[in-house]
Amino acid sequence: MVKRRLYKFLKRITPINPGEEIISLLLFFYFFLITLAFGVIKSLRDASYLDKLGPENLPIAYATAIIVGVVVAFHAKLQVKISRRILIIYTLVFSFLMCILFFLLFQTGWKWLPLAYWIWANLVVVLLITQFWITVNDVLNPREAKRMIGFFGSGGILGGIIGGILTGFLAKSNESYALLFIPSVFLMVCIFVVGAVFRWNERRLEEKMPGKEKTRKQKVTETKVGFHVCFDTVRKSSYLKLLALVVVITGIVSTFIDWQSKNIIANWPSIKENLTAFFGIFSAGMLVFAFLLQLLMTSNIIRRFGLGLALLVYPLILFFCSFGIAVWPVIFFAIVIKGADKSLSYSLNQSARELLYIPISPVVKYRAKVFIDMFLNRLAKGVGAGFLLLIFLLPPNLWIISVSIISAFFILVWIILNVKVSREYTNTVKKNLVLKWDRAESLIDRNIDRETTRLVFDLVESRTQSDDLFAMHLFDLIRQGKLTPEIRRFLGYVPENAKVTSVGALFDAQDAGLFFGGEEGLGEEELKKEVEEILSLDVYQQVIKNHFLRITTDVDGSETARMEAAKAIGFMKPDSPLVDKLTVFLDDKSPGVSRYAIESAAKLKLREHVTFMIKKLSDPKLCGDIEDALETYGNLIVGMLADHLGDETMELEVHRSLCSVLARIGTQEAADFFIWEMDEGKSDVETEIIDALHQICSKNPAIRFEEYSVHKKIREKIESYCRSYLEMDENKIVPTEGESAASKDKELEGILTNVFRLLGLVYPREDIDKAFQNIRTGTKNSIAYAIELLDNTLKKDTRDLLIPLIEDISEEEKKERCRTLLKWLKGFKDREDKSRSHH
Amino acid sequence: MKINSREKDNVVIFDIEGEIRRSDITDVTLHQMVKKNLDSGCRNILLNFQKVDFIDSFGVGEILASYISTQNLGGKLKLAKISKKLYMVFQVTMLTKVLEIFDNEETAFNSFFPE
């Protein structure tokens, strides 16, 4: 009951699913507590340093980032020895103790103590924040993380706000260092929250992955590696190297910005009197903004504009402000740049950057985060400080302008890297998905030579039929250069019931190949030439014409004789007078004879035989052979086939076969015809047409499809999906006999299949197929990756239409989305009609 | 190509030797020799290919032309001892359906005199 209420309450704020309420709250509080603690620690860090050592010594403080990097390397070694849960708890206890220790040390008034405090404060933030994100990656899958990031991310910002406010108000007294008791309390509370998070995760593993799988999952989540392994992991991946570069540049730039803003702010007359209070309130103000941004806009910006653009907002603002400071170094730019840094870096930029880790496997992600977020991030700040120290070799009046110009340059590099990394992100998502199956046609085309297989089968079968038919098949193999040594060896076996006496006996020899190239002289090439020449002899035509007359008038018309004649015509030239007889054999009452005639028609490729064959397409005994034969005609008969497909008097089965043939021909003309037919929307074989288009697309990626028509059909299909879904759900349709919920499900799946097939025509086909196959048959994680891939591949309009239908959401929500989509589609149609009538 | 003819019980037997090729045309072709015999009233012709190494399409044309000439005059032309390869060519081109082919001369000869 309480859980349900909690879910209902949280659902209003964040798009969580049932069962996620506890973990989202725990992560919210975990992040809240560490950022609250750090908010206080950090404000005290900046104020104490500027107060005691002044802004001129800031580069020294920045340079200490390298020390933090070294400690992180040590931390990476330490975590090999203990579990992640214990490590986090130890870190929290250590931070608590250090707060107390620094409170005591600050009483001494030692001048350089703020520097030591600076180092420790930076160490605390890097350890606690990175440990938090690693925990997120451990307990949530990518889609869960994406759903909840807005919520628990805002917890972190809220912690920063409250920390800032507390510091701002309480620091007015002279006992600023007493504030260190605040973080120490929150860090202690955090220990219990961390314990609860790990307990929740264990419970979930227990429920979802009993036995073996659980052990495996635990192994994965608790993989512990040393620092050098983390470094190697990043070094070997181009994507991680890009991410690392982004972090390095971000670190350098943030050091510059920090110095630019603090230098101007600390010297601004009205502020420098009470720096601690200013930084406290300013930080709190910016964090309120960041909190609202995170809670209300971050998810929307990422969803609406994609990760690529979300990653650009922050550096673009910094670029303009940095440029502004170079030109006019006033408090306005200093506050805006620091404000952008405070608000966007903790909200939009942080969320987008964390999402970049989603497509990486958990083990690699952990290693990458240790090296990039803990070590490189700190190191980059040190490098930034190094740059600052170099700049300080210039005259002081050039410092601000030099820092700002160099900063602008680094930001430009950062922008370019962000563009690259967001492109690489989609590729990395793709790598997580495998194409589970290929189209059967492509598979067969790749692996099987259908023509040879058929010939060999015919050859073997003809052994029991007639010598001559056997010889013809053998010659056919030779003619097509397909009488391989394997087939010769295979043919060496003669079954007991074989009728073959003369030619069959040739293969009784140990090496049948001798026959065609051996002592007797006639090689395969010569044999081909011989036969061709004989067939074109006038005297031959004269002799065989009489034979044909006899067999077709039933004087000597055995079925075998007709088969032989039908087969032999295929060896003749298309202009041979005997070829006229083929129509008689095509129309033969015996399917065996027709089959050979169809095969010969395929060799001759004469248009006059096409209509004969199309008429026979309804015969299941011949349908497959006719489809094969018609395919060999290629583009030559696309128009004829299209005309027949448009002929409403023909049977549905014939239309289906024609679709299959056109798909196998697969030329641009065939594709154009299908698109036209689909556009007309009258066809009884729409699903077959969409499948044929998909087949053409997979066979020949160079074929182009009319985008407008494809998108129009996609919209129609999605509309039909929504209607069917709502009808099914609202029971508007009373299932008739034979119609059940299962058949309705099947109908929905059919529509979705068509939508994806259509998408494959206008987007990278393999990516769409991968996504679809994983959505249909994948695990929860692979479905999440598939949706992520679509999210980054499809254009906004299509994405908004499709993703609501495939996301893992409650039925109620899906119904609501279907209604919204139907409204949108109606509006779109109205707008389109209006614009058409206007034109 | 060398052709010797002999007559036995009203059957003219042509013993052909060597290769029957377009490139090796002699003064008198097989068809001409068959025609000559047909003109002289002999209607039963047996072509013995025992010593024939090779026949090209020209040779097949000669055989077919001889067959037509014989058939049109109501005679009979039969073949004996053709090579396996030539037999296959005949099978592929369906000539086995038209021409009477025998494994040996004796059987071929006897077939002119059905019981």
Q: Do B88 and A540 touch (CB under 8 A)?
A: no
Average pLDDT over residues A452-463: 77
Asked if A388 and A299 count as a contact pair (C-beta separation under 8 A), the reply is no
| pLDDT value of residue A175 | 61
Residues A629 and A610: their CA atoms lie apart, in Å, by 9
| pLDDT value of residue A557 | 61
Q: What is the pLDDT of residues A133-151, one digit of tens each?
A: 888 877 876 667 777 777 8
Other C-beta atoms closer than 10 Å to the C-beta of A615 total 15
Contacts of A813 (CB under 8 A, 6+ apart): none
Sign of the alpha-carbon torsion through A335, A337, A342, A348? positive
Residue B45, both tokens: 């012709």
| pLDDT value of residue A262 | 78
Point out which residues pair with B16 in neighbouring strands: B3
Single-letter code of the amino acid located at A205: L
Instruction: Give chain A positions within 8 Å (CB) of B93.
Output: 531, 534-535, 540, 544, 568, 571
Q: What is the pLDDT of residues A6-49, one digit of tens each?
A: 777 777 777 777 778 888 889 999 999 998 888 888 878 887 88
Point out which residues pair with B7 in neighbouring strands: B12
| pLDDT value of residue A80 | 62
Tell me the domains of chain A and their CATH numbers. Answer: 2-431 (1.20.1250.20), 633-705 (no CATH), 708-838 (no CATH)
Average pLDDT over residues A418-423: 88
Residues B94 and B90: their CA atoms lie apart, in Å, by 6
Q: Do B91 and A544 touch (CB under 8 A)?
A: no
| pLDDT value of residue A145 | 73
Averaging pLDDT over each range in A9-18, A392-401, A666-675, B13-22, which range is the top one? A666-675
CB of A515 within 8 Å of a chain B CB? The answer is yes
Residue A811 host element (H or E):
helix A811-838
Asked if A24 and A35 count as a contact pair (C-beta separation under 8 A), the reply is no
Closest partner CB to B91 (pick from A468, A520, A522): A468
Closest partner CB to A503 (pick from B53, B67, B91): B91
Minimum distance, in Å, between the CA of residue A541 and any CA atom of chain B: 10
Residue A424, both tokens: 């690489």
Domain count, chain B: 1
User: Does pLDDT of A726 surpass 60?
Assistant: yes
Asked if A564 and A468 count as a contact pair (C-beta separation under 8 A), the reply is yes
Q: Which stretch of A277-291, A652-666, B98-112 has the lowest confidence by average pLDDT?
A: A277-291
ipTM metric: 0.78
pLDDT-based confidence at residue A225 (cuts at 50, 70, 90): low
Q: Do A503 and B87 touch (CB under 8 A)?
A: yes
| pLDDT value of residue A597 | 93
CA distances from A249 to A253, A372, A382, A415, A455 (A): 6, 12, 12, 10, 66
Among B49, B51, B92, B96, most A C-beta atoms within 10 A, so best to mutate, is B92
Range of the domain at B54: 2-111
CA contacts within 13 A on the Cβ side of A797: 8
Q: Which stretch of A167-181, A311-325, A504-518 has the lowest confidence by average pLDDT?
A: A504-518
Residues A298 and A127: their CA atoms lie apart, in Å, by 25
Single-letter code of the amino acid located at A126: V
Residue A25, both tokens: 């709250």
Q: What is the pLDDT of residues A698-707, one digit of tens each?
A: 888 899 999 9
Residue B112, both tokens: 């002119």
Cα radius of gyration rounded to whole Å, chain B: 13
Which residue, chain included where needed, has tokens 């230098």? A263
What are the CB-based long-range contacts (under 8 Å, 24+) for A705-711?
A: A705/A671, A705/A675, A705/A761, A705/A762, A706/A672, A706/A675, A706/A679, A707/A762, A709/A675, A709/A678, A709/A679, A710/A675, A710/A758, A710/A761, A710/A762, A711/A762, A711/A797, A711/A798
| pLDDT value of residue A652 | 86
CA dihedral A208, A210, A212, A218 (to 10 degrees): 60
Q: What is the pLDDT of residues B30-84, one digit of tens each?
A: 888 898 888 888 889 999 999 888 788 888 888 988 998 888 888 899 999 998 8
Nearest CA to A729 out of A716, A748, A713 is that of A748
| pLDDT value of residue A505 | 46
Q: Which residue of B has its CA nearest to A474?
A: B92
For residues A180-193, b (16+ Cβ closer than 10 Å) or e, as one string?
Answer: bebbbebbbebbeb
Residues B93 and A588: their CA atoms lie apart, in Å, by 21
What rounded mean pLDDT belongs to chain B? Answer: 87
Residue A65, both tokens: 């980032």
Residues A517 and A482: their CA atoms lie apart, in Å, by 15
Average pLDDT over residues A454-479: 82
Q: What is the pLDDT of residues A585-619, one digit of tens each?
A: 998 888 889 989 999 999 999 988 998 899 888 88
CA contacts within 13 A on the Cβ side of A352: 29
Asked if A370 and A78 count as a contact pair (C-beta separation under 8 A), the reply is no
Spatial strand order of the sheet with B100-102 comes to B2-8, B11-20, B44-55, B76-80, B100-102
Asked if A662 and A638 count as a contact pair (C-beta separation under 8 A), the reply is yes
Residue A674, both tokens: 């299908």
Residues A637 and A615: their CA atoms lie apart, in Å, by 15
pTM of the model: 0.69
CB of A568 within 8 Å of a chain B CB? The answer is yes
Q: What is the pLDDT of residues A521-530, one digit of tens each?
A: 457 777 888 8
Residues A361 and A203: their CA atoms lie apart, in Å, by 22
What rounded mean pLDDT belongs to chain A? Answer: 80
Average pLDDT over residues A547-566: 81
DSSP string spanning A565-606?
A: HHHHHTTS-TT-GGGGGHHHHHT-SSHHHHHHHHHHHHHH--
Among A508, A522, A524, A560, most B C-beta atoms within 10 A, so best to mutate, is A522
Question: Which burial class, exposed, middle or buried, applies to A836 when counting CB atoms under 10 A from its CB (0-12, 13-18, 19+)?
Answer: exposed
- Phi, psi angle pair for A660, to nearest 5°: -60, -45
Sign of the alpha-carbon torsion through A565, A566, A571, A575? positive
| pLDDT value of residue A269 | 67
Minimum distance, in Å, between the CA of residue B85 and any CA atom of chain A: 8
| pLDDT value of residue A209 | 56
User: Does pLDDT of A689 surpass 90?
Assistant: yes
Q: Do A474 and B88 touch (CB under 8 A)?
A: yes
**Can you give the CATH number for the domain in which B54 is found?**
3.30.750.24
Asked if A156 and A342 count as a contact pair (C-beta separation under 8 A), the reply is no
Q: Do B89 and A534 touch (CB under 8 A)?
A: yes
pLDDT-based confidence at residue A629 (cuts at 50, 70, 90): very high
- The CA-CA-CA angle for residues A109, A111, A117, to 5°, reads 85
Instruction: Give chain A positions within 8 Å (CB) of B65.
Output: 539
CA distances from B51 to A461, A662, B4, B55, B59 (A): 34, 55, 11, 11, 14
For residues A26-62, b (16+ Cβ closer than 10 Å) or e, as one string?
Answer: bbbbbbbbbbbbbbbbbbbbbbbbbebbebeebbbbb
Contacts of A340 (CB under 8 A, 6+ apart): A314, A317, A318, A321
Q: Which stretch of A97-101, A250-254, A286-290 has the lowest confidence by average pLDDT?
A: A286-290
Average pLDDT over residues A531-548: 88
